[in-house]
Structure 1
Amino acid sequence: MQKVLIFGATGMAGHMVSMYLSKIKEKYTVYNVCHNSKLNENSILCDINDINKINSIIDYVNPDVIINCIGVLNKSAELDIKNTIYVNTFFPKLLDRIGEMKNIKILHLSTDCVFNGSKGNYSEESFKDEDGIYGLSKNFGEIYGKNSLTIRTSIIGPELKNGSGLFNWFMHQEGIIKGFTNVYWNGITTLELAKVIDKALDLNIQGIYNIANETKISKYNLLNLMKSEFKKDNIEIEKFEEIHCDKSLISVKKDFNYKVNPYEVMLKDMHIWMEENKSLYKLYF
């Protein structure tokens, strides 16, 4: 039995990881940290700028694993650069140091946005060439100490409050929208991410791992898959060809054999999860 402490448990990734791992009661006891509102009875409220409180929470829970799901997102990164650097760069490095000192496994989430998308098929060894504030802040926040694991991926999934993620945006659209035919993606759903984390904790891997689908898909085709799965017949998706970007990831690591599910399967599984947890997802029902 492992004690797991999750930071950012009301976010798009954090709530899913918290709930999924909590259901595996024979393996995990899950505690979580939230900023303003609690996810459940195991939630602890904390402002992560309060380092003394962070240390107190960690000492109180005494976790075997800390999972960092906190992050300033791309669209708001430049609004408060100081906060972006603190959250995306300093905070994961702080957790990395705490993990080293207290012998706690630290799992951190990074993004395909550390790359600028000019080439595609970026591996763990590829040069991180994005020079915007968001990409740089996530780049410098990646951790790879002896007790640390950075999962680099791109995610879509339902949200608990009205956020800026692709899935949430799509589900609130009507009429004609644009679908980028030359913007390529090979990420995963947040539910698939939770499954990846479960497997990664089993194997106790460390370092940086790219987690992605073996086949890249255009954003246009991805939106059409979401339209079909969620029966969004009130949306018409027009092809938009002018923007070119490919942040697809590949992995050169051989010691983590998790095979990401096909897009249709991931979306179907996510839909079933949402139906089973309707009370959480009032934004969509």
Structure 2
Amino acid sequence: MVDRLRGGLMRVTVLGASGMLGHIVARFLTEAGHSVQTPEPRFDPDSPARFIESLRITHPEAVINCIGIRAGSPPQALIDAHVRLVELSLECLQGSCARFIQASTDGIFRSDLPARQTAEPGDATDDYGQSKWEAELRVRSAGGLVIRCSILGPELRAAAPRSLMGWFLTQRGPVRGFVNHAWNGITTLQWAQICRGLLEARSPEPVCQPGIWPPSNKAEVLRLIGDTWDWPIEIHPEAAPQPVLRTLVPDVICPSLKSQLEELRKWYTPRFPSTPPTAN
């Protein structure tokens, strides 16, 4: 067992510290006074030894796994990134007192049912959702914690964004906003704040399911991003061919998305194009 840092702060290893969630978590916990480490080697499923060794030598008191790849990736890549990485990381930490916190997603559930409860088992039929559910099960069986929600936040790689917010803040003309795609997630900064709370006060529950309530929709989410981040492009509300009704019933109800985005904007140093588009 490693020695606790002075003042109750912890040695924390953040996996995926260059990603949309990980770079926010690493910075926020560092500013909160925790000793944050970020392993350098990327996880290579064909040769994982360097990555696992880099995790072992950090001697963490807590590991926060922010690594994830997007839906639609090849099935084996999803298994490697979401399941195998978790299994190997947990094996590496056996015998230590390190806590493992896993970033999960509402995507473990099918898209046509709303109001999913914390205790419900995952029932996604796609490879992405199934791989994230399998990762959850591995973490929970090892005594780790899961934060399950959809997230929204800026990216470091602004030139090639992969997320909704990152994509929106690179657009210069009108975009579509789907009114029949429900959403009740949180910002990446809110996620980091919840994670800090779980680190500093042990939770008796294996799953934390935060979110806003009542749910919103993707058109409204884009409008709020545009208003908060001074990105005045036109949004055309419309119905998508395939609705997404999936929402989570929060066991932690968070501030409004408007409040969260305002807090994120104030805290974050933007890395987006310096000149916002001109409103039509």
Shorter-chain TM-score bucket reads 0.7 to 0.9
In structure 1, runs of 5+ residues without a counterpart are 34-43, 253-257
Question: 1:136-163 deviations in whole A, cap 9, x for unaligned?
Answer: 1111111213530011111111101022
Deviation at 1:284, TM superposition (A): 5.6
**1:229 aligned partner:** 228
RMSD of the TM alignment (CA)?
1.8
Does residue 1:189 correspond to 2:183, yes or no? Answer: no
Change (3 A) 1:211 1:284: farther
Q: 2:37 aligns with which of 27, 31, 39?
A: 31
Partner of 1:208: 207
Alignment partner, residue 70 of structure 1: 67
Contiguous gaps of at least 5 residues in structure 2: 1-8, 276-280
Identify the residue that residue 249 of structure 1 maps to in structure 2: 248
SS of 2:154 mapped into structure 1: coil
Say if 1:120 and 1:248, in contact at 8 Å, map to a contact too: yes
Once residues 138 and 267 of structure 1 are traced to their aligned partners in structure 2, the CA distance between those partners, rounded to angstroms, is 26
Give the structure 2 partner of residue 263 of structure 1. Answer: 257
2:266 to 267, 272, 275: 272
In structure 2, the residue matched to 1:21 is 29
After TM superposition, give the deviation of residue 259 of structure 1 in Å. Answer: 4.2
CA distance in 2, matches of 1:123, 1:98: 32
Residue 72 of structure 1: how far off its partner (Å): 1.3
In structure 2, distance between residues paired with 1:52 and 1:244: 42
Matched, 1:85 2:79: yes
Instruction: Classify the secondary structure of the residue corresponding to 1:246.
Output: coil
Task: Output aligned runs, 1:85-124, within 5 Å.
Answer: 85-124=79-118
Moved over 6 A (4+): none
Aligned equivalent of 1:4: 12
SS of alignment partner, residue 74 of structure 1: coil
Pairing 1:240–2:238 present: yes
Cα-to-partner distance string for 1:228-271 (whole Å, 9 max, x where unaligned): 112222x211121243212211145xxxxx54121111111111
> Does the 8 Å contact 1:184/1:218 carry over to 2?
yes
| Percent identical residues | 24
Equivalent pair of 1:188/1:212 in contact (CA under 8 Å): yes
Q: SS at 1:85's partner residue?
A: helix
1:45 partner letter: P
8 Å CA contact retained: 1:3, 1:64: yes
Q: CA deviation at 1:282?
A: 4.6
Q: Structure 2: how far apart are the matches of 1:134 and 1:155?
A: 16
Partner of 1:38: none
Quick one: which amino acid aligns to residue 57 of structure 1? Answer: S
Query: How does the TM-score come out when normalised to structure 2?
Result: 0.86
Normalised TM-score (structure 1)? 0.85
Report the Cα distance in structure 2 between the residues aligned to 1:232 and 1:51, rounded to whole angstroms.
41
Distance 1:108 1:127 in 2: 16
Q: Secondary structure at the match of 2:211?
A: coil
* Number of residue equivalences: 260
User: Structure 1 pair 179/52, CA: closer, same or farther in 2 (3 Å)?
Assistant: same
After TM superposition, the structure 1 stretch with the greater mean CA deviation from structure 2, 96-105 or 117-126, is 96-105
Residue 59 of structure 1, CA deviation: 3.1
The corresponding residue for 1:41 is none
**Residues 215 and 54 of structure 1: CA distance in aligned 2, closer, same or farther (over 3 Å):** same
Q: In the aligned structure 1, how far is the partner of 2:181 from the partner of 2:70?
A: 19
Counterpart residue identity of residue 171, structure 2: Q
The SS at the match of 2:175 is strand
- Residues in 2 aligned to 1:193 and 1:93: alpha-carbon distance in whole angstroms: 23
